[in-house]
């Protein structure tokens, strides 16, 4: 009798153990769903690229803290450096598409890099969410899976041209612009706006670090307004410093969407009274912005600005659209959902036009006072 009881007990114990093991495995199986992988392209060795990447990281962490998307799948970012160079950007995008098998790409700062990536995305049926590039052609290809979050130079002009012509009222204008699609377009737009009042237009390379000759030329032009168009804050910060050192007595405009606190830090006191405009300030009063700013400050001990916010948006909106579309594998479905809906972001409600361009309201005029970038009076 004892032997039979022992056998039964052993069978019961084994059955219980198996049931417990299977039951225990059921829950981790859900947690072990494959992550949703999103490619991120940024010039990560630069300050501006680092800011964009950090914004993207905060978005992924917030989404994962909320339980992920599509029944618990986590967001995983695969980040590659583009170094502001089209060839490196194309190489990075090819790795994402061919090596990593990723069909959703976000980020980038440079318009020239973005224009090259658009072609690759279209050839591979991928979705590209361009965060910062400003050249209008980024969303002019007709490909319905390309989106842009930042305002374009033309959109900026709707508000900022009036500031230049009606408030600043320069008699002579000089332009210092990076040698990129964005920089060249800025020069062309200012020539159209001011005509013969543009007395100097100088381009600099994206890797250049000596600006003494260019600033000397601008000083010799007699310009009473100098406009800088460059996405690399180390460069425009050093240009502002050099203008002060050479006692170039002119009003200083950093074209919309570029100036931020890191650029002001690089320039130091030379940035005071420089003015610009942008689509975002961290003091905007809405729940998602407050949460984003708090999460960014907690992680990086800094207050985020426009570049960080657009990096955040590029991941946040892709994830929200994937959730609404019910897929992280079909770029066409996700693109349609992005086009067909309005989206809450830290800067407010965003909607995309038929070309994939985001619209979110008028620019906020900004000025540097005592080393801080603040809304202009």
Structural domain ending residue among the three candidates 249, 278, 307: 278
Predicted pLDDT of residue 29: 42
pLDDT at position 197 over 90 = yes
> Do 181 and 137 fall into the same domain?
no
Residues 87 and 108 in one domain: yes
Q: Are 181 and 256 in a shared domain?
A: yes
236 and 140 in a common domain: no
The answer to whether residues 60 and 128 belong to one domain is yes
Judgement on whether residues 59 and 142 belong to the same structural domain of the protein: yes
pTM of structure: 0.79
Which domain CATH number covers 233?
Answer: 3.40.50.2300
Label residue 377 by pLDDT band (50, 70, 90): confident
Q: Judge if 137 and 193 occupy the same domain.
A: no
**Could you tell me if residue 27 is inside a domain?**
no
Co-location of 243 and 143 in the same domain: no
Question: Domain ends where: 246, 278, 310?
Answer: 278
Q: Residue 17 falls within a domain, yes or no? A: no
Please report the pLDDT score of residue 231 as a whole number. Answer: 86
In a domain, 21, yes or no: no
With beta carbons less than 8 A apart as the criterion, state whether 199 and 223 touch.
yes
62, 52 in Cβ contact below 8 A? no
pLDDT, position 361: 80
Whether residues 169 and 144 fall in one domain:
no
pLDDT digits (tens, 9 = 90+) for 206-237: 889 999 999 999 999 999 999 999 989 999 99
Verify that 44 and 65 share a domain, yes or no: yes
Domain that holds residue 295: 36-150+282-359
214 with 176, same domain: the answer is yes
Question: How confident is the model over 262-287, as pLDDT tens digits?
Answer: 899 999 999 999 999 999 999 899 99
| Rounded distance between C-alpha atoms, residue 109 and residue 131, angstroms | 7
- Determine, yes or no, domain membership for 16: no
Q: Do 228 and 311 have their domain in common? A: no
Residue 141 lies in a domain: yes
Pick the more confident residue, 377 or 201. Answer: 201
Residue 104 forms part of a structural domain: yes
Decide if 368 is inside a domain.
no
pLDDT, averaged across the chain? 91
Domain boundary pick from 278, 313, 337 = 278
Q: What's residue 236's pLDDT? A: 96
Count of the separate structural domains present in the chain: 2
Looking at residue 15, its pLDDT comes to 45
Q: What is the pLDDT of residues 5-45, one digit of tens each?
A: 444 444 444 444 444 444 444 444 445 799 999 999 999 99
Domain-embedded: residue 376: no
């Amino acid at each position: 009798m004892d032997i039979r009881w022992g056998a039964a007990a052993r069978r019961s114990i084994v059955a219980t153990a198996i049931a417990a093991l299977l039951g225990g495995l059921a829950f981790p199986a859900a947690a072990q769903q494959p992550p949703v992988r999103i490619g991120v392209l940024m010039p990560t060795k630069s300050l501006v690229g680092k800011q964009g990447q950090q914004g993207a990281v905060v978005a992924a962490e917030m989404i994962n803290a909320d339980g992920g998307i599509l029944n618990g799948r986590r967001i995983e970012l695969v980040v590659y450096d583009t170094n502001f160079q089209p060839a490196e950007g194309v190489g990075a995008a090819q790795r994402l598409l061919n090596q990593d098998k990723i069909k959703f790409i976000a980020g980038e700062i440079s318009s020239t890099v973005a224009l090259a990536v658009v072609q690759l995305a279209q050839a591979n049926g991928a979705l590209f969410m361009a965060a910062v590039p400003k050249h209008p052609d980024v969303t002019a290809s007709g490909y319905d899976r390309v989106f842009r979050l930042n305002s374009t130079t033309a959109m900026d002009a709707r508000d900022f041209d009036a500031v230049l012509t009606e408030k600043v009222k320069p008699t002579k204008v000089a332009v210092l612009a990076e040698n990129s699609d964005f920089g060249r377009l800025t020069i062309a737009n200012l020539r159209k706006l001011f005509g013969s009042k543009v007395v100097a237009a100088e381009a600099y390379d994206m890797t250049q670090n000596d600006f003494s000759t260019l600033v000397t030329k601008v000083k010799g032009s007699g310009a009473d307004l100098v406009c800088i168009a460059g996405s690399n804050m180390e460069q425009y910060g050093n240009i502002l410093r050099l203008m002060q050192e050479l006692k170039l007595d002119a009003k200083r405009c950093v074209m919309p969407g570029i100036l931020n606190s890191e650029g002001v830090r690089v320039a130091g006191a030379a940035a005071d009274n420089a003015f610009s405009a942008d689509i975002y300030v961290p003091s905007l009063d809405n729940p998602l912005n407050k949460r984003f700013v708090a999460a960014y400050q907690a992680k990086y001990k800094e207050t985020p600005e426009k570049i960080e916010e657009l990096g955040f948006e590029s991941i946040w909106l892709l994830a929200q659209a994937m959730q609404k579309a019910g897929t992280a594998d079909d770029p066409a479905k996700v693109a349609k959902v992005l086009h067909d809906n309005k989206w809450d972001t830290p800067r407010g409600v965003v909607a995309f036009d038929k070309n994939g361009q985001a619209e979110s309201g008028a620019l906020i005029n900004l000025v540097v006072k005592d080393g801080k970038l603040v809304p202009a009076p």
